[in-house]
Amino acid sequence: MTEPPITDRYDQFVALFARHERAVRGVIRSMLPSSQDADEVMQEVGLACWHKFSDFQTDDSQDAFFRWACVIARFEVLKYRRKCARDRLVLSDETIQLLSAEAEDRALIAEQERQALEDCLNRMSPADQRLLLSVHTRGDSVAEIARQLGQKTRRLYSRVNALRDLLGECVRQKLAEEGT
C-alpha cells in the first residue's frame, strides 16, 4: 500500500492534533509543576508526534490518536525531567506514570461528558437552547433576558432551573447507556 501524499498526511495530522491538543496538554500539565514547563514540553510533543506520525496506526477509535500522543507526551516529560533533574520539584517516574494514566482517563471521561452534553442540548428546542446558553453567556443576566422576553424574572429562573435539571438527567442517562 502506498503512503498518502505529504499534504494529505499533514492535513490528517493537523486535524487530529488540533482535536486532541487540549486533552494532551492537560495530561502533560498533570505531570509537571508549572504551566511554563507544560508549554515547553507540549512544543516538543507536537514535533515528536509529527516526526513519528508515519508510524501512527489508527484503529478507528476516537481516542487512538489521543492515547498514542499521550505515550509520546509521557516520554517527552521524562526527557524534560532528566534535563531538569536538579530541580527539587521533579516527581518520580512512578508518580509520573500514575498521574499520566489518571489524567488520560479524566480527559477521556471529560470528552464523553462534553459529547453527551452536546447531544442533549441538540435534542432541546432552539428556544430552550438559546435560553440556557444565553443565561450562561458572560454579560447576560436572567433579569435582562426576562425583560427582553417580556417575562417575569422569577418565572424565567424557574424555567432555566427546569431546563438544567432536564439537561442533567439527559446527560446522566446518556453516560449510563455508554457505561461511563
Q: What is the distance between the alpha carbons of residues 92 and 81, in angstroms, rounded to a whole number?
A: 9
Least confident of 7-16, 137-146, 160-169: 137-146
Over residues 48-57, the pLDDT tens digits come to 999 999 888 8
User: By the 8 A CB rule, do 31 and 94 touch?
Assistant: no
> What's the pLDDT score for residue 51?
93
What mean pLDDT comes out for the span 30-53?
Answer: 92
Most confidently modeled range among 35-39, 151-155, 156-160? 35-39
Tell me: the pLDDT tens digits for 52-104? Answer: 998 888 776 678 899 999 999 999 999 998 888 765 666 777 888 888 888 88
Average pLDDT over residues 158-167: 91
**Please, are residues 99 and 77 in contact by the beta-carbon 8 Å criterion?**
no
Q: Are 91 and 31 in contact (CB under 8 A)?
A: yes
Q: Which residue in 120, 61, 70, 117 sits closest to 97, CA to CA?
A: 70
What's the maximum distance between 2 C-alpha atoms anywhere in the chain? 66
Residue-level pLDDT at 88: 60
**Residue 42's closest CA among 3, 80, 2, 15?**
80
Among candidate residues 155, 159, 154, 157, the one with its CA nearest the CA of residue 128: 159
| Rounded Cα–Cα distance for residues 52 and 169 (Å) | 42
Place of cell 500514575: 98
